Structure 1
Amino acid sequence: MGTAEVKPENGRPCFAVPAKDAKRDPAARLQAISVADDAEQSNRKMWSMHFRAVGGLPVSTFTCLAYGEVPEGGTSEPLSELRDGRAYYVSLNVKPSDRSDPTRGYYAKFCIVGAGAERRIKPIPESSPNWQTGRCE
């Protein structure tokens, strides 16, 4: 497992495989993204997207996928609104082009802070106590 990148895009979180990993294996394919509510460890699914028939999206073809974005060939579950002050967990399932590569997925935790034009995406580092508690502080 690797650490996913989470960055803001037009007020929404945008998810990506780290650039160094995408450069190392540009033919690796994103097969699914799942976002869950991490506050109080409820793990309620907020949104997911996956590729069934097309085999996935090459990681070299996108810089990030915004929350709720469904590329051609993808299928999506219903989208729930992300709320201010909540912690979320994202996982990206990836199929590497080299079977000897053990990296099959990436994950991260993040918070939504603020609303409207003031909305920010705040990563939760694994070293933070908030990683275990699912809190936004």
Structure 2
Amino acid sequence: MRYPRLPYRHLLLALLIAPACMNACAWSRMAYAEVRMVNGLPCFSISKKEEKRNGIPQIGALNLSDLSVKPAIKLWSFIMPVMVTIPVRASSCILYGVAPAGAETRPAPPLKSGRLYDVFLNGRPDDPSDPTRGYIGKFCLAAKAGGGHELVVVTSDMREWIDETCPVSSPSK
């Protein structure tokens, strides 16, 4: 017995499979972390715009990596205990090397000039319908003439973001 040919069998198959992957195909969003210097160390937060848009996120972990080497090396991180998160406001920040109370962490090594660093704040806003799943930022440190470091933020519209390099000359603040 021969089965009749279905001229649109691929379309029919796609229509039958589509509802099954609706949840698996959900959209997610990565927002930008804000990086600033506080007492000579990088400090990580969200922007005022992000807070206004989505409220105060709850962070469960932070990871800082050195992207100047391949593969990238995790330098410092912390993770909160299960079901414990901390709020991160635009007006506050998490200082490099200083983990929140109760977090699992290890000592943070000193950061070096001329290296590209990537920070990831693992968390999300309270609104379950918000697709934000984390906050990412990239930055370099440039040596200052009198000692110490100057922060050079690398934004997603810069070529260095894609190339994973530090800008040749730091932008003036």
Superposition TM-score, scaled by structure 2 size: 0.71
Q: Residues 48 and 90 of structure 2 are in contact (CA less than 8 Å); yes or no, is this contact kept in structure 1?
A: no
Structure 1 CA distance, aligned partners of 2:91 and 2:60?
A: 13
One-letter identity of the residue aligned with 1:35: L
Q: Deviations over 1:15-51 (max 9, x none)?
A: 002223334423x311111100011443101100111
My pick for the range that moved more, 105-114 or 11-20, is 11-20
* 1:88 equivalent in structure 2: 117
Q: Deviations over 1:59-89 (max 9, x none)?
A: 2496111100111122213312210111101
What pairs with 1:19-58 in structure 2 (closer than 5 Å)?
A: 19-23=48-52, 24-26=54-56, 28-53=57-82, 55-58=84-87
Query: Which gives a bigger RCO, structure 1 or 2 (Cα 8 Å, sep 6+)?
Result: 1
* 2:134 equivalent in structure 1: 105
My pick for the range that moved more, 1-10 or 45-54, is 45-54
Unmatched 5+ residue regions in structure 1? Answer: none
After superposition, the Cα gap between the structure-2 partners of 1:60 and 1:125, relative to the gap in structure 1 and judged at 3 Å, is closer
After superposition, the Cα gap between the structure-2 partners of 1:60 and 1:118, relative to the gap in structure 1 and judged at 3 Å, is closer
Structure with a larger share of its residues in strand:
1
Q: What is the RMSD of the two structures over their aligned residues, measured on CA atoms?
A: 2.0
Structure 2 CA distance, aligned partners of 1:25 and 1:87?
A: 29
- In the comparison of the two structures, how many residue pairs are matched? 136
* Overall identity of the aligned pairs, in %: 34
Unmatched 5+ residue regions in structure 2? Answer: 1-29, 169-173
1:17 to 46, 54, 76: 46
Kindly indicate whether residue 171 of structure 2 is the aligned counterpart of residue 128 of structure 1: no
SS in 1 for 2:132: coil
After superposition, the Cα gap between the structure-2 partners of 1:40 and 1:130, relative to the gap in structure 1 and judged at 3 Å, is farther
Superposition TM-score, scaled by structure 1 size: 0.88
Structure 2 CA distance, aligned partners of 1:61 and 1:87?
A: 23
